[in-house]
Amino acid sequence: MNTTNVNPYHGKDIKIFAANANPQMAQQIADHLHLPLGKSEVACFSDGEISVSLLESVRGSDCFIVQSTCAPVNDNIMELLIMMDAMKRASAARITAVIPYFGYARQDRKAKARDPISAKLVADLITAAGADRVLSMDLHVPQLQGFFNIPVDHLLGSPMLAHYFKDRIEEREENIDDYVVVSPDLGSVTRARTFAARIGCPLAIVDKRRQKANVSEVMNIIGDVQGKKVILVDDMIDTAGTLCNSANAILEKGGAKEVVACATHGVLSGPAIERIQNGPLKEVVLLDTIPLPPEKRIDKINVLPVAPLFAEAIGRIYEDKPVSSMFK
């Protein structure tokens, strides 16, 4: 028996596969685990239907499929579902859906009468397709874990971002008292508070009132940002309207010296790149849970890799070790 990559706990081999959303990240994860990337083909038939072919045996294997459900959202979801179905029918021992960015996460409740709860529907589809567990990062709200009837390991992006800024402040020999961490809305306060505690600086909050989807109006700044260097912290940047409006208010009303922003997920849809390029933000730091195409790579945007974190989590899941201790 070949004992290469065999887990002493359950005796199964581990295999990392990729669909088309995050192939580079999947390769980086496999490299960190000293594994070859699983052989598969994910393509489309001429009529647009998705075709999945597994080019190696997965019988009895512990399989991890790396696939963010970012744009094109529906295509990426279907690729993930069909690949899991293929593995289930090929007798994989366990299937873990590694979803760095979980699409439809913001449709987690009924905002008005007759609204769907699409996040729950997608969670049900993933479970029905054959997933035994899910590994994701910074779900829009932690309660989304309860939408799944299977285990969910929830990674956090803010410790990595906080570590980046803390190291940079120390390297530049800047005074930590010159910095303030700001939450761009009340919903991100817990995340920003944890971020501020890791860096060791105070917290402020932007209180805003959203008039309609993707449009926000800044109302007030809670906290002192006068003459400070501000770090705006959020879980995702979509159209960048919230961050740019918050940055304007922080500079004009609060009297801050400069504003940078960081987020786990760079959705960057619609006018986001133009707003960041021409707006008040000095820098935007993102994690690569969503691949950044060449046309969106501007000087103001800095992207950090998350493959090492996911590789460690996958290794822990494979060896039946706790994932939560990674963040202690």
Please report, as a single letter, which amino acid is at residue 89: R
**C-alpha separations of 245 from 58, 201, 210, 252 in Å:** 50, 23, 11, 10
* Catalytic one of 12, 166, 208, 228: 208
End-to-end Cα distance, the chain: 38
| Side-chain-side CA neighbours of residue 127 (13 Å) | 14
Collapse the DSSP code of 45 into the 3-class scheme (helix H, G, I; strand E, B; otherwise coil) and give the result: coil
Task: Determine the Cα–Cα distance for residues 124 and 281; give it in Å rounded to an integer.
Answer: 39
Nearest to 15, CA basis, from 32, 27, 30, 4:
30
Helix axis angle, 73-89 relative to 118-129, nearest 10°? 30
Q: Would residue 120 show up in a list of annotated catalytic residues for this protein? A: no
Which residues form the catalytic set?
208
